[in-house]
Chain A
């Protein structure tokens, strides 16, 4: 606590709407407390812009505690900024120095069109989940929760995979804009649990197909996704997804 105040020079991507070609706009903010979160710094900027009658910078955010996955931003070329396993909303200005220039851009990918300024449309992630990221169990179907014991190790690994917040940092960081880490996290969670087995083949095949249809690229093992993931989702999930996908091709009675 009690960080000092600093000045920062901001280069922020401004884009009126989907069709606008967009450009950078420069701002300088003084007296920025280092105890502020990065988004609170943007709040201060926006409040100034509004009072001056100018259009505030649009960005996605909601919970501001690192779990909803709304916030995004490429900060100096890094998804969610410089801190490892930290979302933008949990990043604080003490990670920056006096007179730093900070370049702020939206998450860029063909499958994530920019809506305004720093807001992008990540609806393609929802479509990937809709195509198979679940266990098909209607409400009321379930038996007693303890009737299916699950090896603790597998339950823990499933939890690690399930920790994905769907922010899209993996896609934004990948040179191919691939959604492999995102899709594989859900496929892994289900593959590790007995509940996920009955639909395993269809799930892997459908989610991979949807990923392609939505315009995400392929994986060429750069591992930028893992490095930028605010929740530490592991690359081994992609290997597990590939196994599941392979099995679906070899063993599925369909196609």
Chain B
């Protein structure tokens, strides 16, 4: 069975595609909308905004989240801001420029039409959020403030202090809760998704586990939306929240949804370094710090002096040296890789040698401590709370950490996966960021998908398909539930010696070492073999306490780790089969003379889409060729 990879990109000039597509899309009349039901998995920016908007239109929505409240989804942790092409600062921004920057920033591995639409609706998002009462930062005249972010050469980023994700999420959450109150959304919190139910080739429901009671539930609907986030926790240590997992997306993959570009992961350059084996997660320091902080390492290998005792001439401000025009503001992938290079060369700082300095000394000297405090005070406090060091007194230590996954379930222009009726939004899909995501673009994409795209494309799906009436007594529900229960029983009865966390740590180390910032054929082959070995060990030596009833945190973790192990192998395969370097995917075999990522547009200007062919078979790799009609492909240069 081959995947249906018709991208359904509309005809016509890029600037007219979305308008024409909306016009041509089928509509569901207002009285009929209340006859349709839709399941939305996840309540982050994508899932929350989708649930709210669809309920406002009249659809009956069932919304699921793993946390105790939809307000806690991990979108909440985004600090920096959200991009939009408003051009309020009059500095030359436009829909076209945001589109262009996003395609280029993604190293030409995203679909042009999707990215253009994203740039188009970016402005509506800001309007909607402002109307909801999101307290965006403002100037003294009362108008919205903008800043430049992540090396963008225009100021297009809107923000709410260092808590933009929180404020946008609360806006979507509140819109959702209004619909809960009106009875248009049924809310299911503390649910883990165990399977996606496909009936007659269409997604029609899910199997969920209530993590308080342990009950396994069947939920039916006319369509299913996955907005379940990214899979960065495959690395064990990442900036993702503890419960962030690939479960729902992975089950969809096994039911026939293509998984696109799984190896495209983003490693964020400015995170607080690991302090020891006890480390459970990593904390990001906003990219905005690089606007004023200078990145450096000691020139001499093994220089263990206190940073304040190292004079300027013995410091290597390597980003400024290597990239004189962008300096400390090079894109994330470039900054991360260079930090790794310095540490690999033995110049890393701190106890572990896995860190570089981010120094505010010169900014404080230039602008004064008060000005620096006004800009970054909350971040400096957070850093000090974690490390017990003051960034006002000595440089921060930072190191890259896994932060975002550009890969995800393949979707067409309608955000529909290769399973009809299964739509995928936000970080869970692969669509808009290519091989590298620009700063302040994740919030934009999540809300674009949920507020302004799915309300149109879901209507088109309902209007153009016959949705038969089914209920949870259908044999497919029984089958999915039986499989989910069998798996849980299997996990509980292994009776081995190692905890789920222990396996997760081993997997994370393999992923970081071989499928992390720098990848090679040899390393990837080794990773595949080691992960396969780990999978066998997991299923023969796992130890879980407790039973199926009631809260069982070890059972939850074990299920997630089992999925991550399988995903890890697919990521390594995907990375192996893409011998070019692009964006966050750096293959050591494919670099320029100056050690920069070197693309191979002739052979790899495509999206790799993986098809599951059974537990004992290797997955199949398919291609969706990328066509660039509006942006000329160039080698990125930040020199």
Is B189 positioned at the interface, with any CB of A under 8 Å from its CB? yes
* B132 contacts A129, C-beta separation under 8 Å: no
Is A255 positioned at the interface, with any CB of B under 8 Å from its CB? no
A121 to B551, CA, bound (A): 13
**Residues of chain B within 8 A of A54, CB atoms compared:** 545
Partner of A137 from the list B131, B160, B499 (CB cut-off 8 Å) is B131
Partner of B138 from the list A3, A43, A150 (CB cut-off 8 Å) is A150
* B135 contacts A159, C-beta separation under 8 Å: yes
* B178 contacts A136, C-beta separation under 8 Å: yes
Is A96 positioned at the interface, with any CB of B under 8 Å from its CB? no
The minimal Cβ–Cβ distance linking A210 to chain B, given in whole angstroms, is 10
**Residues of chain B within 8 A of A49, CB atoms compared:** 545
> Chain A binding site: helix, strand, loop or mixed by DSSP?
loop
Chain A, 15-41, CB within 8 A of any chain B CB: 16-17, 33, 35-37, 39-41
**Residues of chain B within 8 A of A140, CB atoms compared:** 124, 128
Is B71 positioned at the interface, with any CB of A under 8 Å from its CB? yes
* B241 contacts A145, C-beta separation under 8 Å: no
**Residues of chain A within 8 A of B284, CB atoms compared:** 65
Q: Which residue of B lies closest to A87 (CB)?
A: B385
* B177 contacts A129, C-beta separation under 8 Å: yes
The minimal Cβ–Cβ distance linking B345 to chain A, given in whole angstroms, is 23
Partner of B132 from the list A134, A144, A155 (CB cut-off 8 Å) is A134
- Most central of B128, B161, B283, B385 by chain A CB within 10 Å: B385
**Residues of chain A within 8 A of B77, CB atoms compared:** 63, 65, 67-68
Contact indicator per residue, chain B 126-150, by CB within 8 Å of chain A (1) or not (0): 1111111101111111111000000
**Residues of chain B within 8 A of A201, CB atoms compared:** none
Please report the total number of B residues contacting A with Cβ < 8 Å.
Answer: 87
Given A61-B242, A159-B160: A67 in contact with B76 (beta carbons within 8 A): yes
* A1 contacts B350, C-beta separation under 8 Å: yes
Chain A, 183-207, CB within 8 A of any chain B CB: 189-190, 193, 195-196
A254 to B174, CA, bound (A): 24
The minimal Cβ–Cβ distance linking B63 to chain A, given in whole angstroms, is 12
The minimal Cβ–Cβ distance linking A148 to chain B, given in whole angstroms, is 7
The minimal Cβ–Cβ distance linking B525 to chain A, given in whole angstroms, is 32
Is A249 positioned at the interface, with any CB of B under 8 Å from its CB? no
A246 to B499, CA, bound (A): 56
* A1 contacts B280, C-beta separation under 8 Å: no
Is A99 positioned at the interface, with any CB of B under 8 Å from its CB? no
Given A146-B143, A163-B163: A138 in contact with B67 (beta carbons within 8 A): no
Q: Which residue of B lies closest to A91 (CB)?
A: B385
**Residues of chain B within 8 A of A63, CB atoms compared:** 72, 74, 76-77, 241-242
* B554 contacts A56, C-beta separation under 8 Å: yes
A64 to B386, CA, bound (A): 11
Q: Which residue of B lies closest to A167 (CB)?
A: B72
A35 to B163, CA, bound (A): 25
**Residues of chain B within 8 A of A109, CB atoms compared:** none
* B551 contacts A137, C-beta separation under 8 Å: no
**Residues of chain B within 8 A of A156, CB atoms compared:** 135, 138
* A189 contacts B135, C-beta separation under 8 Å: yes
Given A1-B387, A40-B279, A64-B280: A142 in contact with B130 (beta carbons within 8 A): yes
Chain A, 144-166, CB within 8 A of any chain B CB: 144-146, 148-152, 155-156, 158-159, 162-163, 165-166
* A116 contacts B281, C-beta separation under 8 Å: no
* A37 contacts B545, C-beta separation under 8 Å: no
A44 to B126, CA, bound (A): 43
The minimal Cβ–Cβ distance linking B494 to chain A, given in whole angstroms, is 13
Is B596 positioned at the interface, with any CB of A under 8 Å from its CB? no
* B124 contacts A155, C-beta separation under 8 Å: no
**Residues of chain A within 8 A of B52, CB atoms compared:** 139
**Residues of chain B within 8 A of A50, CB atoms compared:** 499, 543-545, 554
* A119 contacts B551, C-beta separation under 8 Å: yes
Partner of B135 from the list A40, A145, A149, A193 (CB cut-off 8 Å) is A193
* A69 contacts B72, C-beta separation under 8 Å: yes
A145 to B82, CA, bound (A): 14
* B131 contacts A135, C-beta separation under 8 Å: yes
* B86 contacts A2, C-beta separation under 8 Å: no
Contact indicator per residue, chain B 504-544, by CB within 8 Å of chain A (1) or not (0): 00000000000000000000000000000000000000011
* A92 contacts B241, C-beta separation under 8 Å: no
Is B83 positioned at the interface, with any CB of A under 8 Å from its CB? no
Partner of A43 from the list B128, B241, B280 (CB cut-off 8 Å) is B280
**Residues of chain A within 8 A of B389, CB atoms compared:** 1
* B69 contacts A39, C-beta separation under 8 Å: no
A148 to B497, CA, bound (A): 62
**Residues of chain A within 8 A of B138, CB atoms compared:** 149-150, 152, 155-156
Given A55-B546, A92-B385, A134-B178: A2 in contact with B278 (beta carbons within 8 A): no
19 further A-B contacts with Cβ under 8 Å, apart from A35-B278, A145-B144, are A35-B275, A51-B499, A58-B551, A61-B242, A62-B242, A64-B242, A65-B239, A67-B163, A67-B166, A94-B388, A134-B133, A137-B128, A137-B132, A139-B56, A140-B128, A142-B127, A145-B130, A152-B142, A166-B72
9 contacts between A and B (CB under 8 A): A1-B388, A1-B389, A58-B551, A68-B72, A130-B180, A134-B133, A134-B178, A137-B132, A195-B131
Closest 4 CB pairs of A and B: A149-B142, A134-B174, A142-B131, A145-B130
